[in-house]
Structure 1
């Protein structure tokens, strides 16, 4: 190989390397728009990135129990992590390394020990039963969770997929990518909740996404009680005043419904089965079905 060819190969590899880095550090929304707010601490900032008005400096806590924050993708995990960081100032971790989230407000990405408040996961209970001592299970209706995850795959954490994305077909399949996606994700949604509610040996706090949206303050307080973490009234007031942040998808009106009648039936059946699992779990652990989050705090 000539010297010129070697030079061109080396230059190509360098460009590819930096392209990957830029992609991983791209904004949350995956589009050209950028959302700005004031007050983002300079040590976590990046020029041109969305910024967050944190109520207090983010920090690690003294080592303690490792608590999983479980949800199916698209169920509001990132938003709940944001709310918890706002009200406590304690970083939340993750079993993943999302470089976009790490750059835009979650500096403890990939931290999975007891120095973070909770650890994000979308996985089944680990084989190592000592990995997590307790878990917060965030449940969102599969229709909304699956649609939110499809939007994320196409337009990032707070973007919305175009109509064309729901009609695209792969060359080797007659059905659309969307139909295949719904079928696969619905099975995964039900399986995730069943495994945690029936096989996890530790204590579980069930949090319903719709309740979190409707009654954010009381829902946050129940989670904090479960985590045995105390905050002041001012802490809660600040978190609620900044509850929206930049981590909730801005809903965009669509002139079509991507779900078919058959999809709705399958979604309702799966949702009903998981609802029954939650009810069984609450009875087994002497929890009231009207207050599924009402469990004893961590020790």
Structure 2
């Protein structure tokens, strides 16, 4: 091999290496970002995209001393988990953790990715409650619930365009070879089961205290719901801190609706969505009565 060929090969390897690094730091918009490291996805993206800077009300810090109890922030993907973490960090100045390592979030406002101990305010998870005592030892949980219609669509957008991007319309018609239905339809029917299973297991199997937050209520009554969450976490913030959080509540972590006149769901899909919604609403009612707690009125929130 000639010197020129060796030089070109070395230059290509270096460029590929730095492209991967840059993409790992900017998947808020990138295609098919994941909650886990997926090298194949990074290989398909070679441009660095600037993300707007976050204005924090105060410098973020870890909890000192660490809390002896760890609270989970549970949600199905696409339910507003990142936005709620942002609100909590804005109002308290304490970092929030995650059982995952999302390099894009770590680079854009969430330095405690993959931290699961009491040094963080709360720990993000999209998984079922751990039954193994040696796993993540959650003592309590904030369960963030969003209408499955919107949550499933938001997560599909994330798969194609990252945390705050919107998938193009054509991907909803794509069909894998030898498949009788579109990839979107297959995704919906699988996620209907996953959405129900996640909420069912936390509400019926988790032994600790649970505070339920409906995403739709959080959007409409942000200050009130955020205060309830902080009370559940036994954390007090000043009126000044809360006012600052509300002035900056939008941040950069809420996906803007790109297609106002586009609905990818069919009538059969809506029937499935309604069935699982009703089953989970009934389970929440049972949980409230059993544990003598009251969240918000349930009708119309899912």
The bucket for the TM-score relative to the shorter chain is 0.7 to 0.9
The answer on whether the counterparts of 1:27 and 1:49 sit within 8 Å (CA) in structure 2 is no
| Correspondent of 2:56 among 34, 54, 57 | 54
The equivalent of 2:34 in structure 1 is: none
Structure 2: tracts of 5 or more residues without a match: 32-47
Q: Deviations over 1:257-290 (max 9, x none)?
A: 1000000010010011111111111111001354
The answer on whether the counterparts of 1:66 and 1:119 sit within 8 Å (CA) in structure 2 is yes
The equivalent of 1:100 in structure 2 is: 104
SS of corresponding position for 1:133? strand
Distance 2:7 2:130 in 1: 47
Q: 1:291 to 1:234 in 2, by over 3 A?
A: farther
Structure 1, 217-226 or 250-259: larger mean CA deviation: 250-259
RMSD in angstroms over aligned alpha carbons?
A: 2.1
Superposition map of 1:253-292 within 5 A? 253-288=259-294, 290=296
The equivalent of 2:244 in structure 1 is: 238
Deviation at 1:174, TM superposition (A): 2.1
Structure 1, 223-232 or 14-23: larger mean CA deviation: 14-23
Superposition map of 1:94-133 within 5 A? 94-129=98-133, 131-133=137-139
| Correspondent of 1:67 among 65, 71, 78 | 71
Q: Deviations over 1:165-192 (max 9, x none)?
A: 1111111312111001101111110000
Distance 2:269 2:115 in 1: 37
Q: Deviations over 1:223-280 (max 9, x none)?
A: 0000000001111111111110100011123433100000001001001111111111
TM-score, length of structure 2 as denominator length: 0.86
1:89 aligns with 2:78: no
Q: 1:16 to 1:47 in 2, by over 3 A?
A: closer
SS of corresponding position for 1:134? strand
The equivalent of 1:40 in structure 2 is: none
The answer on whether the counterparts of 2:28 and 2:162 sit within 8 Å (CA) in structure 1 is yes
SS of corresponding position for 1:204? strand
Structure 1, 124-133 or 65-74: larger mean CA deviation: 124-133
How many residues of Structure 1 are paired with residues of Structure 2 in the alignment?
A: 278
The equivalent of 2:213 in structure 1 is: 207
SS of corresponding position for 1:171? coil
The answer on whether the counterparts of 1:83 and 1:243 sit within 8 Å (CA) in structure 2 is yes
Distance 2:216 2:141 in 1: 19
The equivalent of 2:177 in structure 1 is: 171
1:23 aligns with 2:23: yes
Q: Deviations over 1:32-54 (max 9, x none)?
A: xxxxxxxxxxxxxx994321111
The answer on whether the counterparts of 2:212 and 2:295 sit within 8 Å (CA) in structure 1 is no
SS of corresponding position for 2:26? coil
Deviation at 1:5, TM superposition (A): 7.4
Superposition map of 1:154-233 within 5 A? 154-233=160-239
Distance 1:68 1:201 in 2: 13
The answer on whether the counterparts of 2:26 and 2:50 sit within 8 Å (CA) in structure 1 is no
The answer on whether the counterparts of 1:279 and 1:289 sit within 8 Å (CA) in structure 2 is no
Distance 2:262 2:158 in 1: 19
Distance 2:2 2:201 in 1: 58
Distance 2:73 2:4 in 1: 53
